[in-house]
Structure 1
Amino acid sequence: MSTDSGASSAAPKGIRMVHAVYPGQDKLFRDIAVSSEFLKANQKYFGVQCTQCQVKMEKLLKCSKCKSVWYCSKECQKKNWSTHKPTCHADERSSGLFKLVRMFSVNPVLMGYLKTATVFECGLLDNRRVGFDTPFLARIEIAIEPSDVLNFGGLYVNDPTVEEKLEGMLQVNAITAWQSPSMQAPLTPKRLNTWREARARCNAEGFAEDPVGLVEFIGHRCTEDSGNSMTAELHIPNITLAVAMTRAPFTSVSAITGIRTEKPLSAASCLEFINSHIRADKQNQLRLRTEMTEQDKEVIRAAGRNEDTFPARILKEKMQREQLYAGFVQLTRTVVT
């Protein structure tokens, strides 16, 4: 892809982007990827509670504006409106992020690596009472990026030739812990009750020695720090703790040089694996692809303009961490006003 524009806010002249793929990528994906049949069969285990009364629902009655909170009746929606109104914003995606988060959550490969990342980020190896005496919460910042990395580059440098209709895919941009110094506010009573119920249920089912916490998936917009979110219980099995303790490194192979490199097992490397695994899914076997909205695209453009919005900052931090974006981070544009 090359660009040539004289506009100050458009892409710089003469940029040429080339992307190489490791020849064995398809086989690596097939070796560990979960089948579509398995995911479809397990969707039923991803339940939803009424936002107001917490009753479990078979049929979703969602807010027609943000499409990211659910109610069992119109009565519960009216009772909850004063609480929900300040955070209710229109969402371009017809079903919000629910369908994508559901497919992610029933995927044992993706959740296994997310749980390992949570072990590191929430310090479960450092304090063995977290998840037992006290809860933990992992905040997962998610976004939609083009499935073709060259289209990502085109949006990043504001290339006007990028097609309007783009296939996107779910990506995990960051994970942060509720226990971190900047997030010491207590859990809401509703979340605390959710954790206590999950802890009691795991105890009753024979998992009393496994830590239990909460996970919050957050989809942010390009112009606001707030976004739609979904919170669920997070059971960390002992085998995940054992994997984290071994710290066996990730091995990757350069598509250009063929050189093998190792990355230490960490929260960041687990997220990079998750994102790479989703990107390698060319046939949408994992059901994590969707058409990009203008909001999705603008987050990437804003990062390229080096804007100081929360979603743009999170994306830039991800680009600094992951090898795929090494050639893009030097292309930040300065907007002339």
Structure 2
Amino acid sequence: MNQCPLQGCYGCRRSEMYRKDLKLCGKCKKVWYCSQACQRGDWTRHKVKCSVSHTQDSISQSELAIEMATRAGGNGTLMLNLELYAVYLLNLIDDPRNATRWVVEIECAAISACNGISNWDPSEFMLNIGEIKRSPSSDLTATLLASGPGGEDSTADHRVNICFLLKAGAECKKVGAVMRSPLLFKITKLAMDMGKENSGDIIPGTTESGIMYDLKMEFNDMVRRDTRNRFKLREFIPPAEGSQARFRPFGHIGFSGVVPLGYSGAMQAFEDRCQREEEAEAARAARMRAKASKRLSRAQ
């Protein structure tokens, strides 16, 4: 299972924790905690924002993009595409040490989810990623150190930590967040297998080859197709009452309109898993109701 690190627990602020070890706030589903004790201890601070809905006056479009992109970092289904992209971009198959030499910069935007659909609420926005490039880690030392531990050379113990730098805003000059992802061997192997099938389409270390473009577009398409918002990467951000709309429909990245791809089948697998979980939950609820009904009958 892919273990994508987040910024850490929102209660005790421990960093370098993994998604599987953290629990979402059941109400807002936007913050993570390592334990119920941490969540209870943080409630006084968090409850102020937990029930508050954003408006286009209370959050900028760039801030929304970074918030959603950071949230995506905890989803292994989506991160698989970015990790495969990074393997090719940094040429990690030939030299894993490139993970310490380069940082993967990702341009993020919050774009309108309606995409021209007449009956869709124009105030619903979703995450979209644009340009992805590599930058020397030496040029970003201060930013990376400020983000917390994990920037050390990890190849000695056979771990490769990819560093993703999320950026949004005018000309993408605003640094939003840093997230690190431990690259598992099976992902590198998958990248090698995909590379063999598309050998004429990959130039290691280039800005973007064909297969890399497809991986990025599949990421965006999975978010677009997630109309039930299971990824939690869609939000309704209306203008404030009496105010004009401040958000641009496409942020600063044009929507691709790409059709569903078939490289990983990740979206279908994710939907199938969610359906199984929902069916299991419905069956469990039915059993609980049946037991309660039997107890009530006996009591009578």
For Structure 1 versus Structure 2, the TM-score category normalised by the shorter chain is 0.5 to 0.7
Alpha-carbon distance, 1:288 to partner:
0.5
Q: Secondary structure at the match of 2:98?
A: coil
Matches within 5 A, 1:83-98: 91-92=59-60, 96-97=64-65
Partner of 2:32: 44
Choose which of 193, 213, 225 in structure 2 pairs with 1:246.
193
8 A contact 2:125–2:235 mirrored in 1? yes
Matches within 5 A, 1:98-117: 99-117=67-85
8 A contact 1:122–1:178 mirrored in 2? no
8 A contact 2:144–2:151 mirrored in 1? no
AA matched with 1:215: F
Counterpart-to-counterpart distance in 2, 1:94 and 1:186: 23
Counterpart-to-counterpart distance in 2, 1:39 and 1:112: 21
Task: Note closer, same or farther for the CA distance 1:138–1:99 as it changes in structure 2 (3 Å cut).
Answer: same
1:209 aligns with 2:197: no
Alpha-carbon distance, 1:200 to partner:
5.2
Gaps of 5+ in 2: 1-21, 35-41, 47-57, 199-208, 239-244, 260-300
Matches within 5 A, 1:273-284: 273-284=218-229
Partner of 1:3: none
1:219 aligns with 2:171: no
8 A contact 1:130–1:211 mirrored in 2? no
Counterpart-to-counterpart distance in 1, 2:110 and 2:143: 29
Higher helix share: 2
8 A contact 1:170–1:289 mirrored in 2? yes
Counterpart-to-counterpart distance in 2, 1:139 and 1:218: 7
Q: Percent identity?
A: 16
Moved more, 114-123 or 232-241: 232-241
Counterpart-to-counterpart distance in 1, 2:153 and 2:175: 27
Counterpart-to-counterpart distance in 2, 1:220 and 1:162: 29
Partner of 1:138: 104
Counterpart-to-counterpart distance in 2, 1:45 and 1:108: 18
8 A contact 1:117–1:267 mirrored in 2? yes
Counterpart-to-counterpart distance in 1, 2:122 and 2:150: 42
Task: Note closer, same or farther for the CA distance 1:40–1:125 as it changes in structure 2 (3 Å cut).
Answer: farther
Q: Secondary structure at the match of 1:150?
A: coil
Partner of 2:144: 191
8 A contact 2:164–2:179 mirrored in 1? yes
Alpha-carbon distance, 1:165 to partner:
4.0
8 A contact 1:114–1:271 mirrored in 2? yes
Choose which of 268, 271, 275 in structure 1 pairs with 2:213.
268
Choose which of 166, 169, 180 in structure 1 pairs with 2:123.
166
Task: State the superposition RMSD in angstroms.
Answer: 4.3
Alpha-carbon distance, 1:95 to partner:
6.4
Counterpart-to-counterpart distance in 1, 2:90 and 2:114: 32
Counterpart-to-counterpart distance in 2, 1:217 and 1:289: 18
Matches within 5 A, 1:297-336: 297=248, 299=250, 311=252, 315-316=253-254, 319=256, 323-324=258-259
Task: Note closer, same or farther for the CA distance 1:295–1:177 as it changes in structure 2 (3 Å cut).
Answer: farther
AA matched with 1:216: L
Counterpart-to-counterpart distance in 2, 1:142 and 1:106: 16
8 A contact 1:167–1:290 mirrored in 2? yes
Task: Note closer, same or farther for the CA distance 1:199–1:272 as it changes in structure 2 (3 Å cut).
Answer: same
Alpha-carbon distance, 1:147 to partner:
1.9
Structure 1 residues 183-213: Cα deviation after superposition (integer angstroms, max 9, x where no partner): x862223515768x4155967xxx8213223
Counterpart-to-counterpart distance in 1, 2:250 and 2:62: 19
TM score, norm. by length of structure 1: 0.48
Partner of 2:38: none
8 A contact 1:120–1:266 mirrored in 2? no
1:177 aligns with 2:152: no
How many residue pairs were aligned?
202
Alpha-carbon distance, 1:233 to partner:
2.0
8 A contact 2:78–2:219 mirrored in 1? yes
Task: Note closer, same or farther for the CA distance 1:129–1:229 as it changes in structure 2 (3 Å cut).
Answer: same
Alpha-carbon distance, 1:128 to partner:
3.1
